Structure 1
Amino acid sequence: MLIALRIGAAIFAGYGFTWGFIALTTAVLFALGMAFHDAEHLSAILGLLIYLCAFLWAFAVRSLGRVWAVLVGSGAVMGIAASLLQHNLI
């Protein structure tokens, strides 16, 4: 069961973390003056590396609770920050 939870954290929480990172990075780069599609593509390319790191990190950490807390919590914080920044840009 613990292995299934760790695999779920690596796949799903890692995806949520990466989604938050891509959203925030796209919003920040666009706010700094980069063209939207350029910011979007750069964020997506970096997101591939971030997802790989989050996936591997989920198996490297001893505490399963820490994995879920960090990936889900920081993904949610980045998603909210990206939403607020995008709302202020429009």
Structure 2
Amino acid sequence: MHAPSVSRAHLLARIAAAVFGGYAFAWGLVALGMAGLFALGMPFHDAEHLTAMLAMLAYLVVFLWAFAARSLPRVWLVLAGGGALMTGAAALLQTTLVR
């Protein structure tokens, strides 16, 4: 069985989605997780360490998924878009916590 031919640009876009989109997703997960856990009463540094550990696992999963998924636009939408949404939600939650 012969693997389908993939252009260099498509491969670079997949790599960029995996690295940078995965980073944005993990960043959003940490921001939202920390704000949410802190809002629920967990000490700040405990929330920070727990979400950082979970984000490392999530980064590995989304990194691999970026190569396994069929649709590259969907990968970008989920990773970069999801990361931006989680970061925005965390910012809103953090502003309500400090008021």
Q: Which residue of 1 aligns with 2:56?
A: 48
Q: Equivalents in 2 of 1:20, 1:55: separation in Å?
A: 15
Q: Which residue of 2 aligns with 1:12?
A: 20
User: Out of 25, 28, 37, which is 2:36 matched to?
Assistant: 28
TM-score, scaled to structure 2: 0.90
Q: Per-residue deviation at 1:47?
A: 0.5
Q: Per-residue deviation at 1:13?
A: 0.5
RMSD (CA atoms): 0.4
TM-score, scaled to structure 1: 0.98
Letter in 1 for 2:65: W
Q: How many aligned residue pairs are there?
A: 90
Letter in 2 for 1:68: W
Bigger helix share = 1
Q: Per-residue deviation at 1:30?
A: 0.2
Q: Per-residue deviation at 1:6?
A: 0.1
Letter in 2 for 1:41: H
What residue ranges of structure 1 are gaps of 5+ in the alignment?
none
The runs of at least 4 aligned residues of structure 1 exceeding 3 Å deviation read: none
Q: Equivalents in 1 of 2:85, 2:97: separation in Å?
A: 18
Are 1:86 and 2:94 matched, yes or no?
A: yes
What residue ranges of structure 2 are gaps of 5+ in the alignment?
1-8
The percentage of aligned residue pairs carrying the same residue is 61
